[in-house]
Chains A and B, each alone.
Chain A
Amino acid sequence: MLPGGHLLSVLIFFPAVGALALLLLRGDDHKFIRIIALIVSLAEFLFSLLMIRAVPVGATGYHLEEYAKWIDQPPIHYHLGVDGISLFLVILTTFLTPISILASWQSIEHRVKEFFVMLLMLELGVVGVFLSLDLFLFFLFWEVMLIPMAFLIGIWGHERRVYAAVKFVLYTMAGSILMLVGIIWLYNATGTFDLPTVEALLHTPLSQGGLELAPRTEMLLFLAFFLAFAIKVPLFPLHTWLPDAHVEAPTAGSVMLAGVLLKMGTYGMIRFCLPLFPEASRRAAGWVAVLAIIGIIYGALVAMVQPNLKKLVAYSSVSHLGFVVLGIFAFHNISMQGAVYQMLAHGISTGALFLLVGMLHDRRHTFEISEYGGLATPMPKLAAFFLFVALSSLGLPMLNGFVGEYLVLLGTYQRHWGWASWAALGVILSACYLLWSYQRVFFGEITREKNRTLPDVSAREKWILATMAIVTLWMGVGSTFITARTAAAAQSVIDEVEPQRPYEAATPDSATPQAKLDSSGAAKAISSERLGIR
């Protein structure tokens, strides 16, 4: 390991160091500030790639763990770790941050220094959320990330930015405060904030010193956590903050919001709701699935009638994230993997869509579809990139969106064919709204004189889009690189929800069950040791 076994701490705090360095710079040399921010974020991305080596294919449990005392009373620990699921979410975050920085290279002219400081602080919060293994620490990062995002929307956003920023914060806070109550309740029951220890306790039978929650208590706790995550995802009736936040946010903000912030919600479901409250998750699964399916179809239908291009992309997020939630709550190994994959794929393709929409906005300062039309003539390259990304988003085979949606539908079908059939409607509808909007924006006659002379992509934009396109293609054809690493972690989550299910491998790997046994034994040993400390 490069930095002495503290790779995860470095990953979390390196952006803070970068932000601090930026703060000390003079505010008027914009170019220098941008370059420093870019270098910091690129270095962070390279650091995050180092994690891949540390997470072996087929291994369960956490790796690169760091464990230190922070507060004695109540015992709160600085506990970090990475597994197959969080690994790629962190990499997605560190990948999208330099992209966002490049995307705001010219569009941010005002308070440049603060902008990049906020972006780096946001990265810190998000990476912290994905790497924390202590419930308290997790909550801390979860809240810390709010403020930079609110500032990104509120200062550098569009016309109704303040409204959107405040709405974003209030919605998120409403959920997260209840989660805090839930976390404290869980602490009272278990005496620890340490996630693996809590998990081990809840999965040990009462007779062996474990803990069993009463069904009602478990359901309330599940709801306290789930509500916070559902708001973040956002799940259907709680989604109303999202279109506002997206439309008003600057491009970089939208990319980060859609790319990684929404994933914090689905990640929370996988990491907390399912393993900690398996019984309640099983009981709630039907309702959650119904909401997810409504979200898939409703999001797609609303996207279809949007006159505003950015809002269209925002509602498509509601629809796509519905697939993720459905995949998680189908409790099938394949759908779970599909959900994880869809989280990554959606981050890339929707991120790219927001980049493209942002580029159009940079040129014409409007998101109205009716203001465009026939753009393929003046800007063929941008049109080509847009088509590519739209196709990936609607799930064309060989591109990234297909893998995730297909796996989700496949896994869900094996459990509940009804759910899968309804959800499949969303795939069809997404083709409708994306292709229809593409047609209205890029094909046909040029209806506005201004559009005739729009410049095509600049060199910088070309590089950004090309990078995104390459990743899209790679994720479409090289998906096994990722699924091989997420498979075991996804299966171990399923095991905790439904222990009686046999191992249904998406990637056959005979060594895994044994490895799993070993690691769970080790986890128990560690947890009992930690309980001893307490």
Chain B
Amino acid sequence: MLPRAIDIYRVLPELVWCGFGVLVVLMQPFVRNRHFFTFLALIGTLAGTAASVSAAMRAGPGFDGLVQSDSFSFFFRLLVGTVAFLVVLAAGPYLERERLPFAEFYALLLFATAGMGVLASAQELLTAFIGLEMSSISSYILAGYRRDSLKSTESAMKYFLLGSFATAFFLYGIALVYGSSGTTMLTKMGSEELFHSKLFELGLALILVGLGFKVAAAPFQVWTPDVYEGAPTPVTALFSAGPKAAAFALLLRIFATVPAATHFWFWAFWGLAALTMFAGNLGALVQTNVKRLLAYSSIAHAGYILVAFAAVTSMARDGSAEAAPAYAAVLFYLLSYALVKLGAFTIVSQLGGTGEKNLSLDDYAGLSERQPFVAAALSVYLLSLLGLPVTAGFFGKFYIFKAAVNSHLLWLAVLMAVNSVIGAYYYLRVIVMMYMRESSAEAKSAAPVGFPLTVNFVLAFTVVGTLYFGLFPNRVLNFILQPALFGR
């Protein structure tokens, strides 16, 4: 059966990303100029992101409902596309500095992006699995991209082994769901009997385990610090922003479509959220390596997002129709979080120096005197992670708090408040380092680290975005809150 044109349109962004990925691979033997590939990758990510607009204009199910082009997938395609674009910008100088090949990096990045796009728009579990694999396998390779570095190899190995386990769980979950419901289409799982099927519930639980691994939810989070630390920093930036958002997107779609409104799910998310918040924040307290610190912080933030999931399931359980703000909270949080983490890791990548030597907190001492603008930008990100007003992170946290209180999850809200304060301590530690400690003599005498134009663009984009959404969250929110978020 030949696909219809309209089906093509509905997956156009993924096709464009894949197409450019293939193009990069094909051109690689013939073109010597490395900057050509950067240019190509930029065009590719932008074109795919632009194609998501065209896909959104032709909203509806594609390929007989395997994928769904709706506002929800539009949002996530825009998000992962922009993330990929910014990562390409930030990665150029990094690859140059570390003397790593350009073309393969961009090709893998484009494939991973396409996988995330599939994840965000999939409405059928096997399609989702393909998306998950596309993004994961590219990610495994990207994590080990610095082949001669022991840490990078370790990172790839760990990510691959544990990731394969998680994927196996996911696949097994699909099998059980299929066995109990006779379908892999999410939209066909709405029947009442499925509610009470233990097999179905077990299948969903295994899917949750698989996705829980991808979003670094405790107790499936142990890989995160090592992988984040070892991977090349631009890749870490991608990991923390892209695949995480895509996995959360799939999780949201599953729980928005499938009526999994039982006590079990509510308590599962409640427990996951509480455990993840504490695992992330307590782990981050003792870190002295900035990359690891940010890795633990990203676990903590996954915990905050899971609080909103607990709110969603709680509302569904109580039969309240007011779940839209809770979905919106997740989406807004992912947006603000992606901006901030991208910016922060870009700075870490740039300051790391050749071979990523300068990653310890002490290397950031007195940064505000040496490089005031960089220190100011990093402070904006950290304050956003901390959730102080006038940053996007504040509204993100505010909406999650609101969702939690809305569904009477007071204890979870209080736990989240406690965690915010614990989190404040280690974010402040970095700020204290930058502003209140003296630079080491060595750092003082060294020339300030150069920030190329592309990197500065990434920083400017993320800082302005963070502050803009911190002052005027209106537009994005109105978009997210529109009634037809999930095309049904």
Q: List residues of chain A with CB under 8 Å of any chain B CB.
A: 71-74, 139-141, 143-144, 146-147, 150-151, 154-155, 161-162, 165-166, 169-170, 173-174, 177-178, 180-181, 184-185, 187-188
Contact = CB atoms under 8 A, between A and B. Distances in A.
A273 to B, nearest CB: 19
Contacts of A144: 388-390
Given A155-B435, A187-B402, A181 B388 contact: no
B420 interface: yes
B401 A72 contact: no
Contacts of B481: 73
B428 interface: yes
B401 A184 contact: yes
Contact of B432 (A74, A162, A180): A162
Contacts of A161: 436
A173 B421 contact: yes
Contact of A165 (B388, B417, B432): B432
B473 interface: yes
B478 A73 contact: yes
A166 B436 CA distance: 11
Given A73-B478, A140-B389, A170-B424, A181 B417 contact: yes
Instruction: List the 7 closest pairs (A to B, CB-CB), nearest first.
Output: A177-B417, A140-B389, A154-B436, A184-B405, A174-B421, A143-B389, A184-B402
B467 to A, nearest CB: 13
Q: Counting chain A CB atoms within 10 Å of each CB, which of B328, B435, B473 scores highest?
A: B435
A178 B417 CA distance: 6
B424 A173 contact: yes
B406 A73 contact: no
B414 interface: yes
29 contacts: A71-B477, A72-B478, A73-B477, A73-B478, A140-B389, A141-B389, A143-B388, A143-B389, A143-B394, A144-B388, A144-B389, A147-B388, A162-B432, A162-B436, A165-B432, A166-B428, A169-B424, A173-B421, A174-B421, A177-B420, A178-B417, A180-B401, A180-B417, A181-B401, A181-B413, A185-B405, A185-B410, A188-B402, A188-B406
Contact of B421 (A155, A177, A184): A177
A428 to B, nearest CB: 39
Given A140-B390, A180-B401, A165 B420 contact: no
Contacts of B477: 71-73
Interface string B412-425: 01100100110011
Contacts of A169: 424, 428
Contact of B405 (A143, A166, A181): A181
A220 B437 CA distance: 41
Nearest to B425: A170
B473 A166 contact: no
Interface of B: 325, 328, 383, 388-390, 394, 398, 401-402, 405-406, 410, 413-414, 417, 420-421, 424-425, 428-429, 432, 435-437, 472-474, 477-478, 481
A224 B389 CA distance: 19
A73 B394 CA distance: 15
Nearest to A74: B402
B383 A147 contact: yes
A86 B461 CA distance: 39
Contacts of B390: 140, 144
Contacts of B406: 188
Main secondary structure of the interface of A (DSSP, over half): helix
Contacts of A150: 428
Nearest to B435: A155
Contacts of A174: 421
B24 to A, nearest CB: 42
B436 A71 contact: no
A154 to B, nearest CB: 4
Given A143-B389, A150-B428, A169-B424, 5 more contacts: A140-B390, A161-B436, A162-B432, A170-B425, A178-B417
Contacts of B398: 180, 184
A185 B473 CA distance: 21
A166 B474 contact: no
B189 to A, nearest CB: 30
B391 to A, nearest CB: 10
B323 to A, nearest CB: 14
B449 to A, nearest CB: 21
Contacts of B388: 143-144, 146-147
A344 to B, nearest CB: 28
Contacts of B472: 71
B414 A181 contact: yes
A225 to B, nearest CB: 14
B303 to A, nearest CB: 15
A150 B434 CA distance: 14
A166 B417 contact: no
Contacts of B437: 162
Contacts of A139: 389
A61 B382 CA distance: 40
B425 A166 contact: yes
Contacts of A151: 435
B121 to A, nearest CB: 25
Contacts of B417: 177-178, 180-181
B435 to A, nearest CB: 6
A162 B406 CA distance: 38
A141 B405 CA distance: 22
Contacts of B405: 181, 184-185, 188
Nearest to A186: B405
Contact of A71 (B414, B421, B474): B474
Contacts of A177: 417, 420-421
B308 to A, nearest CB: 13
A77 to B, nearest CB: 13
A162 B413 CA distance: 30
A49 to B, nearest CB: 29
A290 B328 CA distance: 45
A165 B410 CA distance: 30
A168 to B, nearest CB: 10
B262 to A, nearest CB: 24
Nearest to A154: B436
Contacts of B435: 151, 154-155
A343 to B, nearest CB: 25
B352 to A, nearest CB: 25
Contacts of A170: 421, 424-425, 428
A174 B386 CA distance: 12
B326 to A, nearest CB: 13
A161 B436 CA distance: 9
Given A170-B421, A184-B402, A154 B432 contact: yes
A169 B421 CA distance: 9
Contacts of B401: 180-181, 184
A297 to B, nearest CB: 30
A126 B438 CA distance: 30
Nearest to B432: A162
Contacts of B428: 150, 166, 169-170
Contacts of A185: 405, 410
A161 B438 CA distance: 13
B474 A72 contact: yes
Contacts of B402: 74, 184, 187-188
Contacts of B432: 154, 162, 165-166
Nearest to B386: A173
A136 to B, nearest CB: 8
Nearest to A166: B428
A448 B25 CA distance: 80
A206 to B, nearest CB: 21
A431 B474 CA distance: 55
A141 B388 CA distance: 10
A94 to B, nearest CB: 22
A108 B432 CA distance: 19
A178 B478 contact: no
A411 B435 CA distance: 48
Q: Counting chain A CB atoms within 10 Å of each CB, which of B390, B428, B473, B477 scores highest?
A: B428
Contacts of A184: 398, 401-402, 405, 413
